Amino acid sequence: MFQLKWLWENLKGYRAVYVAALCMTVICQSMYIITPHYSQRIIDEYINGENAAENLANNSRGLIVLVLTMVGFTLLRTCITYTSNICYEKASQGIIYKVRNYLFMNVQRQDRDFFDKNRTGDLMTRISGDLDMIRHSVAWIIKSILECLVLYTASVIFFFSIDALMAVCMISLTPVIFGITMSLKKVVGPKYVTLRDKLSAMNTGAEENISGNRVIRAFAREDYEREKFDEQNRDYSSANKDASLTWLRYFPYIEITAQSLSVVQLLAGGLFVISGRITIGEYTAFSGLIWTMTNPMRMLGNIVNDLQRFMASVNKIIEIYYARPLIVDRSDAVDIPGKMKGEIEFKNVSFSYNGRNDVLKNISFSVKPGETVAIMGPTGSGKTTLVNLISRMYEATSGEVCVDGVNVHMLKLSQLRKNIGMASQDVLLFSDTIDGNIAFGRSDMPEEEVVNYASLAAADDFIRKTSDGYNTIIGERGVGLSGGQKQRIALARALAVRPSVLILDDTTSAVDMETEKYIQKSLKSLDFTCTTLIIAQRISSAKDADKIIILRDGRIEDIGTHEELISREGYYKEVYELQI
C-alpha cells in the first residue's frame, strides 16, 4: 500500500526505534499465553489433578516457583510494554516533526498558482489536524493491528496445542467478525473523506473571518458571518455524527458476535470437561485466554474506523508532500552571485492564466540600468502581472523577459529575487517589531541602516512617535497602523535590500501628496544604482519618470515621457486632465 510505503520512507532516522517497538509488541503479546499456561499447571498439578494433594504435600516449592514465575513474567511484560510505548511515542513525534517541517518548506517553494488554487484554512488543516492523525496511526493504529494479530495468532496456536476440536470451536466466529468489519470499511471510508472536507471548509471560514474582522465590523455583518460559520459547523458536526453513527450501527453486531464466544466456550468447554476430553486446568486456560479472542474482534471495528480516518488524512498530506513547483532553477542556469545592473527588457511577451484569455499580449520594451519607468493603465490592464513576470512569480506564456541581457528562465531564482525589492499596495507586515519588518530581507542589518531606510521612505517620524519606537510590536497584518504608514514601512523594507530593481506597485496610493513628493525625492538620491518600476494611478507618481508605459487590455497603448504623452490624445492625457 502506497500510504504505508510513504510512512516507512518518512520514518527514516526513527526506523530502528520503531522496529524495536514493534518487536517488543510481538514479544509482549506473545507472553500473554504464559500466565494461562502456568495457571493450567497449578490447577492440574496442585488443585484438581489426581496427584494434587501429594504434589502439594511433597513439592510445595514447585507451586511457589510457578506462582513466582507468573508474577515475574507479568512484571517483565509490564516493563516491555512501557518501553515499547516510549519508542512508539518517540517515533511518532519524530515523524510528524520531520514531515511538518518538510510540508512547510515545500509550501514555501510553491508558485503563486498553488496558492491561487489552495485555501489557507485547508493548508492549515493539513499541517495540523491531518498530521496529528499520522502520529496517531504510527503510535496507535499500526501498534493495535500488530497487537491483535499476534495475540490472536498466539492464542490460536496455544489452543490447538491443548485440544484441536476445542480450538476450532473457539475460532468458529472469526469469519463472521471479518465479514462485518469488511462491510463497515466499505461504508465508512467515503464518510471520513467527506468529514475531512467539511473540517477544511470550517477552518477556512474561521480563518477568513478572523483575518477580515475589520471589514465584517465595518459592514455590520457579524450576524451574517455567525450564521455562515454556524452552517459550516453544523455541516461538520453532521458529517462527524454520520461517520460515528455508521460505526455504532455495526458495533452491536461485532459486540454480540464477540460475546457469543463466551457462550461457545462455556458450552463446548463444559461438555469436553464432562466427557473427560480436557482437564479443569485446560478449561481454565481456555477461559483465561478467551479475552485474547474477543478483544481483537472488538478492536477490529475501531481499527478499521481509525484506519479510514488515517487514509482520508494521509491522502491530503501526500498531495502537498509531492506537490512540485513549475517555476524552478534550470540545471544549466547562469550563476550571477554579485549585484545585477538592473537592465530589463521585454521581447514580445504574452501571458495567460491556465492557458485561457491572454492577460498580456506581445509586450515589448526596455529599461536601462538606473532608469525610472512608470506603468499606468485602467484597472485589469495587466500592470501587476507584468512586473510579476520579472521576478518569475509567473512564467511568460511566450516571448522573453530579460534582466541584464539574460532570460530570467536562465537565472537562479534566489539570485534573481535577491536583486529585486518589491513594495505593493496590499501590504503584508509580520507580527514583529517595526525594526524586524524593515530588516526582513537582511536580518543582520545594523540599527542605523534601518533608521536610514525608514527616513528615505518618510517613515522615521511616525515610527519614533509609536510607544516603543522601532521596537514597537506590529499587530497581525499591521493592525494599528494606517494604510499610508504600512506602505511606507513596506517601502523601507524594499529599499533595505539595496535592490538592483525596485518595483513599487501603487505604493504611495495611501500617502498624502507632500509625503509622496518627499519619497520621490529620496528615491532619486539613493546611494546605490537602482532601476525603478512604478505602477501608478496618480499623475504625480508618474510624471517625473524617464519613461511612462500605458497598458490597455494587456497591450502597450503608448510609451513616452510626461510631456510627450500629454501632447497627444490617449489614456494618459485623459487621466491628467481629470486629476488636474
Give 553: exposed, middle or buried? Use CB within 10 Å, 0-12, 13-18, 19+.
middle
The CA distance from 539 to 376, in Å, is 9
Collapsing DSSP states into helix, strand and coil, what is residue 550?
strand
| CA separation for the pair 530, 501 (Å, rounded) | 6
C-alpha cell at 30: 506473545
Alpha helix (H) ranges present in 11-59?
15-30, 34-42, 52-58
Lowest-confidence region among 27-31, 51-55, 64-68, 146-150: 51-55
| Same domain, residue pair 302 and 412 | no
Whether 334 is in a domain gets the answer no
Question: Percent of the chain, pLDDT > 70?
Answer: 95
Distance CA 144, CA 28 (A): 13
Number of domains observed in the structure of the chain: 2
Question: What does the DSSP 8-state code read for residue 472?
Answer: P
Q: Quick check: is 373 in a domain?
A: yes
Q: For residue 477, what pLDDT band results from cuts at 50, 70 and 90? A: low
pLDDT (tens digit per residue) in 122-173: 788 888 888 888 888 888 888 888 988 888 888 888 888 888 888 888 788 7
345 or 162, which is more confident: 345
Q: Counting beta carbons within 10 angstroms of the beta carbon of residue 208, is it exposed (0 to 12), middle (13 to 18) or buried (19 or more)? A: middle
Alpha carbon distance 27, 150 (integer Å): 9
> Minimal CA–CA distance to 458: which of 512, 407, 504?
512
- C-alpha 59: how far from chain center: 66
Q: Do residues 46 and 141 share a domain?
A: yes
Residue 328 falls inside a structural domain? no
Q: Name the 3-class secondary structure at 203.
A: helix
One domain for residues 301 and 351: no
User: Looking at residue 445, which CATH number applies to its domain?
Assistant: 3.40.50.300
Q: What is the mean pLDDT of the segment spanning 312-332? A: 87
Same domain, 155 and 121: yes
- Whether the pLDDT of residue 401 is over 90: the answer is yes
Q: Are residues 297 and 360 in the same domain?
A: no
Do 351 and 317 lie in one domain? The reply is no
Tell me how far apart the alpha carbons of residues 240 and 279 are, in angstroms, rounded to a whole number: 50
Contact 176, 264 (CB under 8 A): no
Do residue 256 and residue 378 come from a single domain?
Answer: no
Q: Give the domain-ending residue among 306, 321, 336.
A: 321
The overall average pLDDT reported for the chain is 84
Structural contact between residues 221 and 338, judged by C-beta atoms closer than 8 angstroms: no
504, 420 in Cβ contact below 8 A? Answer: no
Cβ atoms of residues 96 and 131 within 8 Å: yes
Q: Are residues 41 and 109 in the same domain?
A: yes
The answer to whether the Cα torsion of 553, 559, 565, 569 is positive or negative is: negative
> What CATH code is carried by the domain that includes residue 17?
1.20.1560.10
What gap in Å lies between CA 314 and CA 196, rounded to an integer? Answer: 11
pLDDT score of 479 more than 70: no
Q: Which domain holds residue 489?
A: 344-579
User: Where a domain ends, among 290, 321, 352?
Assistant: 321
Q: Is 473 inside any structural domain?
A: yes
Predicted confidence at residue 426, as pLDDT, reads 75
46: in domain: yes
Helices (H), 212-344: 213-218, 222-274, 280-288, 291-321
| Higher-confidence position of 57 and 270 | 270
Q: Does any domain span residue 336?
A: no
Cα angle 342-436-114, degrees, rounded to a multiple of 5: 65
- Residue 252 pLDDT more than 70? yes
Determine the straight-line distance between the first and last CA of the chain, rounded to whole angstroms. 70
146 shares its domain with 230: yes
Instruction: Answer left, alpha or beta for residue 480, where phi above 0 means left and psi between -120 and 50 means alpha.
Output: left
Domain closes at, from 287, 321, 355: 321
Query: Do 417 and 534 fall into the same domain?
Result: yes
pLDDT single digits (tens) 179-226:
777 777 777 778 877 887 888 788 777 777 776 776 676 677 778 888
Chain length of the chain: 580
* CA distance linking residue 269 with residue 291, whole number of Å: 15
Mean pLDDT of 530-544: 88
Residue 136 within any structural domain of the chain: yes
pLDDT digit string (tens) for 483-531? 788 888 888 999 898 999 999 888 777 677 777 788 888 888 888 889 9
- Give the residue-averaged pLDDT of 4-26: 91
Pair 358, 506 in one domain: yes
Mean pLDDT for the stretch of residues 60-76: 83
Reported as type and span, the H/E element at residue 363 is strand 358-367
Same domain? For 390 and 524 the reply is yes
Residue 531: the pLDDT is: 92
Is 339 part of a structural domain of the chain? Answer: no
User: What's the whole-number mean pLDDT along residues 316-340?
Assistant: 87
